[in-house]
Amino acid sequence: MRILIRTSKWAIWAQRLGRLAVPLLVLPIGLHHLGFIDSPSFSIAALIAGALALLAILVALLALMRLWYSGDQGWGRALMGLFLGLVCLLPFSYYGYLAWRYPPVTDIATTAWGELPLLFLPDTRAMPAPQLISADDQARIFPNATTRRYPLDPAQLFSMAERLVAERGWDVRLRYAPGENGPDGRLNARITTLAGWREEVVIRVSPDPQGAAIDMRSASINAVHDFGSNGLRISEFMVALDGEVTTLLRDNPNANQPQPADEDAAPEVEDAGG
């Protein structure tokens, strides 16, 4: 007599839920990154995918316990559901750690925010208010996010900053070289993170008694928490600029001599929308 061994329904459902959670997480990320859905819709979709992934894990664990005692088939299905659920929860674990590590802030600047205006401000009527931190907290959490002063001509420093922006692939939306629209140079650039969050960077190069000074602002668009991205972005950029200036002055002792301004250059302004 042939004995039939059943396949656990719990294991089948664990696999189904795990397989469903993957596209429900990946698809909104892709659509959000490409700008086809807005941030609130993306957040809702991501939470649904996370809840489904958690459900897949719970069902898979229950299926594994039942399989241990019943002897039914379905170990592979249950383990697959468990694996897919855990993979889908990895991004939530990562951002959960960042939320614990960094305060809920969405706007970081090395100087007064009003001195570094953002291009997307006219579109902020429906956006949450920016989350700010005190100067003391900023200095403690992001010690490298500070104004830099170098013995360089403003045009030289602006050129170096512009090159670093290009290396990072930031989308420049507004550009004034020093002397084109006043003594200060300015760059506004848009950044899209891997998850699709939009952020804007403002860089200002101004004359200084030591040569030139550079300030920077990084702000999130339509977000309630940046998970440390803005402060880390400014810190990384400034440290990279420190290295570039140090190398330049070491290899070219006369690099801090004033450079002639390009008086014929015109300001380049791109559409800030989108």
Is residue 261 over pLDDT 50? Answer: no
Q: Which residues have a Cβ under 8 Å from the Cβ of 14 and sit 6 or more positions away?
A: 56, 59, 60, 63, 77, 78, 80, 81, 82, 85
Question: How far does CA 2 lie from the centroid of its chain?
Answer: 60
What's the token pair of residue 134? 């005190």
Amino acid, res. 170: W
41-70 pLDDT per residue, tens = 898 999 999 999 999 999 999 999 988 887
| Whole-number percent of the chain with pLDDT over 90 | 63
Can you tell me the distance from the alpha carbon of 54 to that of 30, in angstroms, rounded to the nearest whole number?
Answer: 21
Please write down the HEC assignment for all residues of the chain.
CCCCCCECHHHHHHHHHHHHHHHHHHHHHHHHHHCCCCHHHHHHHHHHHHHHHHHHHHHHHHHHHHHHHHCCECHHHHHHHHHHHHHHHHHHHHHHHHHHHCCCCCEEECCCHHHCCCCCHHHCCCCCCCCCCCHHHHHHHCCCCCCEEECCCHHHHHHHHHHHHHHCCCEEEEEECCCCCCCCEEEEEEEECCCCCEEEEEEEEEEECCEEEEEEEEEECCCCCCCCHHHHHHHHHHHHHHHHHHHHHHHCCCCCCCCCCCCCCCCEECCCCC
pLDDT value of residue 255: 65
Q: Does the structural domain 107-269 have CATH classification 3.30.310.80?
A: yes
74-128 pLDDT per residue, tens = 889 999 999 999 999 999 999 999 999 999 999 999 999 889 999 875 444 555 6
Is residue 140 over pLDDT 90? Answer: yes
Is residue 130 over pLDDT 90? Answer: no
185-232 pLDDT per residue, tens = 999 999 998 888 899 999 999 999 989 999 999 999 888 889 999 999
Is residue 273 over pLDDT 90? Answer: no
Can you tell me the distance from the alpha carbon of 86 to that of 152, in angstroms, rounded to the nearest whole number?
Answer: 51
Is residue 1 over pLDDT 50? Answer: no
Residue 34 half-sphere exposure, CB side, CA atoms within 13 Å?
Answer: 7
Can you tell me the distance from the alpha carbon of 221 to that of 197, in angstroms, rounded to the nearest whole number?
Answer: 7
7-39 pLDDT per residue, tens = 788 889 999 999 999 999 999 999 998 888 888
What's the token pair of residue 31? 């659509």
pLDDT value of residue 264: 46
Domain ranges (residues) in the chain: 9-101, 107-269
pLDDT value of residue 214: 96
Handedness of CA 108, 110, 112, 115 (dihedral sign): negative
